[in-house]
Amino acid sequence: MNEIEKMYENTGIGKQKYFVMQDENYKDVFEIKYPPFTAEKQLEILKLLIRHYKTEIYCRYANDKYKLIMYTEDCCTSDIGSFENVLASVVCNIWGLLSEEEKQQIKGILE
């Protein structure tokens, strides 16, 4: 399970059914997965974190790879190449420290 899936599980948002296509017999084909973690959702969560916590983000380039590091008052997390995974990791790491209101705000953003 990756960090994004853990974040969705923490919020109580389950996997949903998404239409993919129709097969050769014109039967609908569906995929069961978590809602997409879009750039808009990422931005809203980042804005929420910045409003409530001292948050710093660094991006480093070394050995032909990008490394993203995100610090908040309560945790530090990093990942190579994927902003959304680092952001989801921060949310997972501080989930227990968030107020119920903040948890509901994040859940509302992700739905």
The per-residue pLDDT for range 42-86, each reduced to its tens digit, is 999 988 988 877 878 777 777 777 777 777 777 777 777 678 888
CA nearest neighbour of 36 among 91, 92, 109 = 109
CA nearest neighbour of 49 among 111, 7, 1 = 7
The per-residue pLDDT for range 3-47, each reduced to its tens digit, is 999 999 999 999 999 988 998 998 999 999 999 999 999 999 988
The residues spanned by each domain of the chain are: 3-110
Strand partners, 58: 69
> Who has greater pLDDT, 108 or 52?
108
Strand partners, 19: 30
- Consecutive H or E run containing 99: none
Tokens 């190449």 belong to 81
Task: Quote the pLDDT of residue 81.
Answer: 67
Enter the pTM of the model: 0.80
